[in-house]
A and B are shown apart, each in its own frame.
Chain A
């Protein structure tokens, strides 16, 4: 594996590791949400390729994120709400997160 690929695997695994420790969520979906929100298209594209090639070294939540990762150039996978760290500001004002990983009762009324 090239140095760049190894780094992608490491970073994807770090993200997956975090979401795997969160209760009551699908870690793969949350990982996909995070990647869609923070990773630029070329990095997502390369990760998808690597998953397609077997996803060597990737944690289950990272490899399992593939179907929900937005394909570069394609429309967003709307089923997946955005990552918690960046609450969608649909109202034009800072508001609450919508990632399943972080949604809670009252969490979206801000």
Chain B
């Protein structure tokens, strides 16, 4: 007998089949027969799914395996021996010994009756419709053998005109307001799959059914165009729609896809897996992959829709060089550009010393690319001057978690959120920055989990529909450590600690010491209120809830790390988890939400100037020896320059050459004028990117990069999950980024001969213990793995510190609050904090070059009505935002989402240049910039600041390009 038990998350590469209903989580099984075939499935499985697992596809329209069945279309009827009537198989659970028949004369008759009704109110000729080939009404009509429709054309939603020639009041024109998809009501069968997708999967509740019976139709918001409704354009409804009523515009433009490649989104740290659905070498659409372990078939507007930048007209495809940054660019050949770059780097090193050059990689690059760039620095340029943009976001996470737990990474996988009872979200805005995770969290919140938000701003998570108990601690920017320590004070002094956990997993004396420290009245919420602005009772209630509310999971973001005390705050978070025993079991843990797609990976790959791959310190002779043998050269043993150190050294004249891959340091690093001064002081800046980014304004060599669609590799998401990126088309610029790095290395005499990124991963695995088991073959076989992946854990490690901490005993570090130097005063009385929004990504280089700009075409300054009124500012006014570092102008949005005294903006647009205002203040341990706190003044203004004008002029001048012919 064939055994049909298939594990929950089985990876069957070919299987995209819709199983009809979601899998059951039950551990007990039930055996039944379907059309004579015995099937064993977990109890709670639907008859429809059991049949599907036996390979029998029962006709259906309203059911799909991404959401709970509602049994409305009645097409999936079956007969069950001993049961009366014909139950709907999607809503009927299996039972032991059940005997199911999916076909019979009666069933066929009933199904044809159902289909006849559907077809009578459905466009009959789809030959020239974009939905042709995708409309399941067609498929089902065929499946049930519908041969005639007896109803004469009468009232319908399909025809613009009625039989008498008058306009059909039921007909509606398609809604084309969303730039990526169209809603054509004529094709709608009101199966409610879209409504359920929006509610259950996305959690936005933007769609409803209006009217009843024959009159019912799907509407967005209050019967608005999609664009003006609450819709966040995640596309879940489009994916769920069985008829093509909701359909991607790209399908209408290109046609139905013919093949599929599984790959990974290149935007945020959630790391959603996608099916790139292709026609030839053209992407028709990106559909979130249902076997993706981070996203389970869901995605956000960026990953699903905003990939058009790959074909944007501003993309640079030819290498360019210039003598001076004031010259126009000169297009040239790859050979000349690489030689030019290599010669300059060599000359600089000869004249100014080995350590006068360095490299910066981006968290947008693959692991393989990042590994190669740090190898280029260490093995070819022979310097540890290598850093990554993770410096400016999550370096304190690395330091803090390594100190307390022993590993520079989050503890749990995203699936763990399904088991949490209390979610403590600190300094993160998941609905905008980690949307798919936010949807999963919202689902859990709807199921009754409680929410605590620690943030200066009222984030959207607090507006979750059907949210139960929720607390918002609205803190003054820069006081995280005081708030977290006060929470620990409450937990300790009110006796809410988990002594059992601490005795077993931590050092008891050390705990007593920390408890004494915490018990001091100076840490009480009453005492810290003056600094933090959090009412003591609110803080106490939140602390009690986290300690006693069941499984408590902490999710935090850059609002924790990007502070002068970022590393201390991370340790304070770890302490909270240890004090309450909220670690080492599902539904708990300390989980950093990483900003960019490969922040985790770029840290893992040894991009930091003090660390070799796998977080082994550069002074560690054992680790150095491994690489000296692998690379055949001595590895320098002194820590190199970090990004801010590079800028300082450049201004001082000691650092003169930079290879910068995929990172726009000018726009994304703080204190833009200082960065600009540093870049202009260098003799050779090599920028490798898709577009002439802001940094390229100061570059001498531009090497055009490739997109994630054009190369193979891996990204590692916030859960330590190594996800494959697969090449779906040839690189338009000619080379994958890893090949470009190799060209440069070889021009510097390296003699590398990688022919495929899988060989780079093999080298990483051979030299890095936590990656020992990773290979492209493994990823092809199982989809993705979470490191550590080695002999002890051949399929990876979803949850860390299960029975013991990696470092042995958990470490309680004392967390004294130290007020940031960045304080308000008479000149700069407000605190600026920064963030991002859903539709744009980071510096926006990609998303600004897609239709996503319809949602966010400029950065706005959010200011509290009280502060606005004092200054005579109204929404939409131009305001000047100034700090001790610089000034910029942008438009104001008056809103009570920010507290009085706090202003907030995003940094997606180069014209705004929010980082002109941010200062060089940084985290004590890692130099991670203090983006989240800047003392500022805001005043009405009527034009761009001096910097903006100067910069605009310079940027324009520096973007001039002489084409290849003209140069000859």
- A residues at B contact (CB < 8 Å): 4, 7, 10-11, 14-15, 17-18, 21-24, 34, 36-43, 72, 76, 82, 84-97, 102, 104-110
Q: Once the chains are docked, how many angstroms separate the CA of A23 from the CA of B520?
A: 14
Contact sample, A vs B, 17 pairs, CB 8 Å cutoff: A4-B651, A4-B652, A10-B821, A18-B924, A23-B517, A40-B638, A42-B355, A82-B617, A84-B811, A87-B617, A90-B620, A94-B615, A94-B616, A96-B406, A96-B808, A97-B403, A97-B406
In the bound complex, residues from chain B placing their C-beta under 8 Å from that of A18 are 568, 818, 924-925
Q: How far is the CB of A110 from chain B (nearest CB, A)?
A: 4
CB atoms of B654 and A42 under 8 A apart = yes
In the bound complex, residues from chain A placing their C-beta under 8 Å from that of B406 are 87, 94-97, 110
In the bound complex, residues from chain B placing their C-beta under 8 Å from that of A40 are 355, 384-385, 609, 638-642, 645
Q: How far is the CB of A89 from chain B (nearest CB, A)?
A: 4
Interface residues in B, total, Cβ within 8 A: 61
Q: Once the chains are docked, how many angstroms separate the CA of A15 from the CA of B922?
A: 11
Of the candidates B513, B808, B924, B925, which one forms a contact with A110 in the assembled complex, judged by CB atoms under 8 Å apart?
Answer: B808
Q: Once the chains are docked, how many angstroms separate the CA of A96 from the CA of B564?
A: 25
CB atoms of A85 and B567 under 8 A apart = yes
CB atoms of B619 and A94 under 8 A apart = no
Q: Once the chains are docked, how many angstroms separate the CA of A78 from the CA of B564?
A: 30
CB atoms of A17 and B609 under 8 A apart = no
Q: How far is the CB of A19 from chain B (nearest CB, A)?
A: 10
Q: How far is the CB of A14 from chain B (nearest CB, A)?
A: 4
Of the candidates B399, B507, B816, which one forms a contact with A107 in the assembled complex, judged by CB atoms under 8 Å apart?
Answer: B507
Q: Would you list which residues of chain B between 635 and 683 have a CB under 8 Å from chain A? A: 638-642, 645, 648-649, 651-652, 654
B510 within 8 A of A: yes
The 3 closest A-B pairs by CB, nearest first: A14-B924, A110-B808, A21-B816
CB atoms of A37 and B925 under 8 A apart = no
B874 within 8 A of A: no
In the bound complex, residues from chain B placing their C-beta under 8 Å from that of A82 are 617, 619
Q: Once the chains are docked, how many angstroms separate the CA of A55 from the CA of B924?
A: 19
Closest chain A residue to B655, Cβ basis: A42
Given contacts A85-B925, A91-B622, contact A108 B808 (CB under 8 A): yes
B71 within 8 A of A: no
In the bound complex, residues from chain B placing their C-beta under 8 Å from that of A23 are 513, 517, 814
Q: How far is the CB of A33 from chain B (nearest CB, A)?
A: 11
Q: Once the chains are docked, how many angstroms separate the CA of A34 from the CA of B649?
A: 20
B21 within 8 A of A: no
B269 within 8 A of A: no
Given contacts A4-B648, A11-B922, contact A85 B399 (CB under 8 A): yes
Q: How far is the CB of B416 from chain A (nearest CB, A)?
A: 22
In the bound complex, residues from chain B placing their C-beta under 8 Å from that of A22 are 813-814
In the bound complex, residues from chain A placing their C-beta under 8 Å from that of B769 are 92-94
In the bound complex, residues from chain A placing their C-beta under 8 Å from that of B927 are 11
Closest chain B residue to A35, Cβ basis: B639
CB atoms of A85 and B517 under 8 A apart = no
CB atoms of B807 and A85 under 8 A apart = no
CB atoms of A97 and B620 under 8 A apart = no
Q: How far is the CB of B602 from chain A (nearest CB, A)?
A: 17
CB atoms of B615 and A86 under 8 A apart = yes
Given contacts A37-B617, A85-B567, A102-B813, contact A95 B807 (CB under 8 A): yes
B392 within 8 A of A: no
Closest chain B residue to A2, Cβ basis: B652
Q: Once the chains are docked, how many angstroms separate the CA of A5 from the CA of B619?
A: 26
CB atoms of A17 and B924 under 8 A apart = yes
Closest chain B residue to A15, Cβ basis: B924
Given contacts A15-B925, A38-B925, 19 further A-B contacts (CB under 8 A): A21-B818, A23-B814, A36-B619, A40-B355, A40-B385, A85-B399, A85-B926, A86-B610, A87-B402, A87-B406, A87-B807, A91-B622, A92-B623, A93-B769, A94-B769, A97-B807, A102-B403, A105-B507, A105-B509
Q: How far is the CB of B868 from chain A (nearest CB, A)?
A: 33
Counting chain B CB atoms within 10 Å of each CB, the highest count among A4, A14, A15 belongs to: A14
CB atoms of A89 and B622 under 8 A apart = yes
CB atoms of A21 and B638 under 8 A apart = no
B614 within 8 A of A: yes
Of the candidates B398, B626, B648, B808, which one forms a contact with A92 in the assembled complex, judged by CB atoms under 8 Å apart?
Answer: B626
B770 within 8 A of A: yes
Q: Once the chains are docked, how many angstroms separate the CA of A7 from the CA of B510?
A: 34
Closest chain A residue to B804, Cβ basis: A110
Q: How far is the CB of B511 from chain A (nearest CB, A)?
A: 10
Q: How far is the CB of A87 from chain B (nearest CB, A)?
A: 6
